[in-house]
Amino acid sequence: MSLPRSNTATGWLLAAPLTLVLAFFLVLPIIMIVIVSFWGATEFSIYPAFQFDNYKFLFGSSVTWAVFGNTFRYALITWALTLGIGFTVAYFLAFHVRTLTWQITLALICTVPFWTSNIIRMISWIPFLGRNGIANSTLLSMGVIDQPLEWLLFSDFSVMLTFVHINTFFMIVPILNTLLRIDKSLIEAARDGGATGPQILWNVILPLAKPGIMIGTIFVLTLVMGDFTTVRFMSGSQSANVGRLISNDVGLLQYPSAAATSVVLLCTVLIVVTGLLRLVDIRKEL
């Protein structure tokens, strides 16, 4: 395909600021991380080298595999839960709320917390889940349990709960976007043809919602896989994911080792994203 030369010139001129920012703060940092991942480190400093020690150590350690496994587990469970909740909420807003004003209002209610601090939203779970928190005291007074549950806070449970709490937004918005674009006459046609509610949902709505689901999936998977704050806050250092592994190494000034882990994490994330992008054309679906 041949493109007019003027398009290319104007295009790059307009995209120049964007390109500069991404070149300096995205591409260069990635190159730097790749370079440093081959460096060596003493207790206090790092020195340029070209050695594979960091990678050898990384792949030779059973901790790495366990932590990567744990990261995938978090990502998949969060994905399933956010998809279930997100689709249900979006479906309700798109097909059961009848006026546009209410649709906008209720959608705003779902999105406002996204613009507030994640860290505060994590802290907010403490009075709920703590040993003497609301959940425990309610269950105790109802007689469901006779001593406080210890696994509510600082556990895998609280990590997953927070992931779902923070990331369902990223499922609701793209799915709602695709659902609102579905031509209502398609659903009427299916109903006239004798399809039941579940059949319409499965054979008409779900296939048409696929692009939104894919975009939501990309967001949720990459955010959970790259996270380290949620796990740091909500697990009480009981469990780890790859992000935690990196931030621990950074804390110990072991930058080369942190860089090697980062390279592996980045490759993993990009492979997942590339796979998902084959299933959806993001630019067309926005």
Partner 1 sequence: METRPRSFYVLATFFCLYVLFLYGPTITIGILSFQGPGGGLTFPMRGVSLHWYDQLFKQQAVGDIWGAWSRSIRLGLMVMITTVVVSVMGGLAFRKRFRGSTILFYLIITSLTIPSILISLGVGLIFSQSGMDVHWSTSGFGAQLTWTLPFGLLIMFAVFNRFDKSYEEAARDQGATNWQTLRHVVLPIIGPSLIGVALFGFTLSYDEFARTLLTAGSYNTLPLEIFGMTTNVTSPVLYALGTLTTVFSLAIIGICLAFVLLAQRRRARAGSDAGKGMV
Residue 146: CB minimum distance to partner 1, A:
20
| From 57-65, 75-83, 109-117, 143-151, span contacting partner 1 (CB under 8 A) | 109-117
Of positions 51, 61, 117, 203, contacts partner 1 by CB under 8 A: 117
| From 50-58, 139-147, 186-194, 217-225, span contacting partner 1 (CB under 8 A) | 217-225
Take residue 205 and report the two structure tokens written for it.
Answer: 């709505």
| From 53-61, 185-193, 205-213, 255-263, span contacting partner 1 (CB under 8 A) | 255-263
Contacts with partner 1 in 139-178 (CB under 8 A)? Answer: 165, 168
Q: What is the dihedral of CA 51, 53, 55, 61, to 10 degrees?
A: 180
Residue 26: CB minimum distance to partner 1, A:
5
One-character DSSP codes across 215-254? HHHHHHHHHHHH--HHHHHHSTTSS--HHHHHHHHHHTT-
Of positions 152, 205, 225, 260, contacts partner 1 by CB under 8 A: 225
Q: Tokens 């499965």, residue? A: 202
> Measured between alpha carbons, how far is 203 from 207 in angstroms, rounded to an integer?
7
Chain-centre distance of CA 212, in angstroms? 15
Handedness of CA 97, 98, 102, 108 (dihedral sign): positive
Residue 137: CB minimum distance to partner 1, A:
7
Q: Is 191 in the site for partner 1 (CB under 8 A)?
A: no
Contacts with partner 1 in 12-71 (CB under 8 A)? Answer: 12-19, 21-22, 24-30, 32-33, 36
Of positions 40, 64, 103, 126, contacts partner 1 by CB under 8 A: 126
The β-bridge partners of 99 are none
Q: Is 78 in the site for partner 1 (CB under 8 A)?
A: no
Of positions 68, 79, 87, 125, contacts partner 1 by CB under 8 A: 125
Of positions 108, 142, 193, 207, contacts partner 1 by CB under 8 A: 108
Alpha helices by DSSP H, the chain: 5-22, 28-36, 53-60, 62-91, 100-111, 118-123, 126-129, 134-142, 156-180, 184-192, 197-200, 206-226, 229-234, 242-251, 255-277, 282-285
Nearer to partner 1, 121 or 210 (CB): 121
3-class SS of residue 41: strand
Contacts with partner 1 in 229-248 (CB under 8 A)? Answer: 229, 233, 243, 246-247
3-class SS of residue 5: helix
Nearer to partner 1, 29 or 69 (CB): 29
Of positions 78, 159, 262, 280, contacts partner 1 by CB under 8 A: 262
